[in-house]
Structure 1
């Protein structure tokens, strides 16, 4: 399995978390803070925006353990093991929404 295939799996897990995360209602109700004024505040726009915010946040937060792992092991390039650490962190962040 090459790193690109693992990254596609990471994206799939983070997109799933964007739909099932317990943070979705919180971000949804905070829409007046993050939604620009020129965007119509319809329900579908709010749901897509909320899902996108949670998904991207999951992608960024789950990358932190992989970065720490690379730093501690002295790796110069991202390899398959680092990508699996990233995938594992994304899965752990998605589990609360699936349970």
Structure 2
């Protein structure tokens, strides 16, 4: 997975995560979702937020089993709405800070 920063203001970096690949299993439905997700990281809280937004970085249902009828279909654009606590190194407790330099 990659990341790209588009802007930085007052300790918040806005951008997107690219190369997202998620395998989902819901009841009889098995599907994969791929694409990009808009994201914002706040230095003050150490939280990475992926808001409910589609454009300009959409996720797309890439595969869907026969059991996905009514749940997911290839080509649909699902929404991602999540907040993650970011720490460094893996398993650590220190929040990273993004330092802006033009």
Short-chain TM bin: under 0.3
More helix by share: 1
Q: TM-score, normalised by structure 1?
A: 0.26
Using the size of structure 2 for normalisation, the TM-score is: 0.25
